[in-house]
Amino acid sequence: MDVAAQTPLQVPDLRGGSGFPTLFYKELLRFYKVSFQTVAAPVVTALLYLLVFAHVLEDHVRVYDQIPYVNFLVPGLVMMSMLQNAFSNASSSLIQSRVTGNLVFVLLPPLSYLDFYGAYVLASVVRGLVVGMGVWLVTLIFAGPMLAHPLWMLTFAVLACANMATLGLVAGIWAEKFDQIAAFQNFLIMPATFLSGVFYSINTLPPFWQAVSHWNPVFYAIDGFRYGFFGLSDASPWHSLAVVGGVFLALAACAMRLLASGYKLRS
């Protein structure tokens, strides 16, 4: 008899007792134990991007007139690293548990779907922020500190990581093998990230591609985050916040629905 089928994710019990702290700790420990791979490697990758692009384009590209190109690159690389790692943490953890068959040990305790969602997403946000902090600290060697609006920067960092973590959770629920997660990353996450203004300002694009960029929600996450660094951006930070916040609500509602119904988790 299928044990997982007997233990669906349950409605939250407000009378006390929650497995959230344990599951959250387990997810933190999971990426901490291999931090050389989950934290150090993304920092090195971002540094290589910075060195290559800065070396090639520093003397040829000027953004917002007074901002050197290497400085302009930093927020985009920090945000790109955070987004990719937040997505990877949630999606890889869930698909790994499903493929190896140990997801049953998460489903056996009386966890609510809110506990499940909160633990996976919050742990992924923590990983994203840790990687982002690492990238930012390393880039200080080349660009120097830039903090025009720290609160805006932190808001977009947390919200954008929560978006990608939730999307990673949805992908982990939907996918049945690692290849599908890889396809999700290669055909959705990577294009959306690289075409969002990480390495350029969309104001330098032709009108058609500017219009296309405004349909990319990742652009608003990066642009709003960049506003926190320089106080300058291609779009209003309030508009960016509305878009990023709206996407988060939609993704969270989708993830909650999948978890509450036990979609692909009960069998």
> pLDDT tens digits for 186-222?
999 998 998 898 988 888 888 888 888 899 999 999 9
**Residue 267's pLDDT is what?**
60
Which of the given ranges, 36-45, 47-56, 108-117, 207-216, has the highest pLDDT on average?
36-45
Decide if pLDDT at 234 tops 80.
yes
Structural domain boundaries in the chain: 3-261
Express as a percent the part of the chain with pLDDT over 70.
Answer: 91
Which of 112-116, 149-153, 230-234 has the highest average model confidence (pLDDT)?
A: 149-153
| Res 237: pLDDT | 96
What is the pTM for the complete model shown?
0.89
262 compared with 256, residue with greater pLDDT: 256
Segment 250-254 long-range contacts (CB within 8 Å, at least 24 positions apart): 251/163, 251/166, 251/167, 251/170, 252/117, 252/166, 254/166, 254/170
What pLDDT score does 15 carry?
39
